[in-house]
Structure 1
């Protein structure tokens, strides 16, 4: 397999990736094809695919925020079981992030991720790909070191229709697993920046941000 970055909407691998996202994720989680042009060209957004021959068999999108020395995993897709795709993506992603942090003169502080709560989204089939099942993914992320933030989490729909999307936890994987608190201001600032591209924010999300602003820290709980 090859770990290939996509930086242009005209890249043939991006059409394959976007089709794959449409097969795997609910429609409110997938940005429209044409709206990917600017994100793909943004140097801060890193989109890589695992290519096996001519086929895109996996993908991961993530970001590194130098000012906060944190990362965000946007998504990870594994198309087929039994190929070591998940391990391949994780190893290459962490290698890339550690290099970015080192160039910033630091060791990576941690990484956020939105994590489905399988008890709330059992109806979602994720394209029938069992390795993408919310129960499996949550356990894998727990093994990687992710914890969930102690808050009622929602995010704006990527359809930009002003709807709040629930059924997920906001997770954080600290570099030091013994860390059990994260700064609330960091969480609020990160979320405001991350969702700045969406102009139509739901009331529930705005209220969540205000609650974070009123706190000093947020507890990190087991997944």
Structure 2
């Protein structure tokens, strides 16, 4: 049986890291193509000190069995979980990645003199879109993941969410909710301006924005608050 001590949390800061190829291959196995940034395009983002890309390495085999990417935005005092991959079942990978990420984010918030407000995540809605295979990896099943994220405290923001394709082709990606996990008890909504500013900042790297995304952003700008609802 694998113990947590047999998993290593390793940060990747360059595409020349031998573990990056393993991570990218794992991403391509698990996620649909429009959710995976092309290999060479990772070079610049990985050098950004604000982007945290970590893999879980199984010490015994040197295999990348999980990965997570996240960021802390001190100006908004929020974090974003870009992705979390559990590549194999029954290794405790999900819990391992969650705890390591949580500790790191709390540390970054403390360094900036703040207490983390919460964390965004894009969450697949399998009740609307049922064709997510995720490489046949059962822990990545969208029904399972959605329930796990709900248990962790994530809620969905009450608006129809789309995002630009990471293939940067101007296509709109649907079938997801924008979720948020508050770090403070009793939060029932977020300022719409915070949500809009965050999403605008997050997708600034993509030049091709679909019309549906532009309309979504316009709608957010017209609101005062966005309610937090159960997943």
TM-score of the aligned structures, taking structure 1 as reference length? 0.99
> How far does residue 196 in structure 1 lie from its aligned partner after superposition?
0.5
> How far does residue 177 in structure 1 lie from its aligned partner after superposition?
3.6
CA contact (8 A) 1:131 1:137 kept: yes
Which of 57, 67, 78 aligns to 1:70? It is 78
Q: Structure 2: how far apart are the matches of 1:217 and 1:69?
A: 17
Q: Where does 1:200-211 land on structure 2 (aligned, <5 Å)?
A: 200-211=208-219
Report SS of the residue matched to 1:76. Answer: strand
Q: Structure 2: how far apart are the matches of 1:99 and 1:42?
A: 18
Q: Structure 2: how far apart are the matches of 1:120 and 1:198?
A: 26
Residue 182 in structure 1 maps to residue 190 in structure 2: yes
Q: For this pair of structures, how many residues does the alignment match?
A: 223
Q: Gaps spanning 5+ residues in structure 2: where?
A: 1-6
Specify the alignment match of 2:125 in structure 1: 117
Q: Structure 2: how far apart are the matches of 1:165 and 1:178?
A: 31
Moved over 3 A (4+): none
CA contact (8 A) 1:145 1:177 kept: no
> How far does residue 119 in structure 1 lie from its aligned partner after superposition?
1.3
Q: Structure 1: how far apart are the matches of 2:211 and 2:192?
A: 19
Residue 134 in structure 1 maps to residue 142 in structure 2: yes
> How far does residue 120 in structure 1 lie from its aligned partner after superposition?
2.3
TM-score of the aligned structures, taking structure 2 as reference length? 0.95
Specify the alignment match of 2:3 in structure 1: none
Q: Structure 2: how far apart are the matches of 1:23 and 1:120?
A: 23
Residue 5 in structure 1 maps to residue 11 in structure 2: yes
- How large is the Cα RMSD of the aligned pairs? 0.6
Q: Where does 1:24-173 land on structure 2 (aligned, <5 Å)?
A: 24-53=30-59, 54-173=62-181
> Residue by residue, what CA displacement relative to the aligned partner does 1:143-164 show, whole Å, maximum 9, x if unpaired?
1100000000000000111000
Specify the alignment match of 2:22 in structure 1: 16
Q: Structure 1: how far apart are the matches of 2:108 and 2:132?
A: 35
> Residue by residue, what CA displacement relative to the aligned partner does 1:142-197 show, whole Å, maximum 9, x if unpaired?
01100000000000000111000000000000112420110100010001110001
> How far does residue 123 in structure 1 lie from its aligned partner after superposition?
1.4
> Residue by residue, what CA displacement relative to the aligned partner does 1:124-146 show, whole Å, maximum 9, x if unpaired?
11000010000000001001100
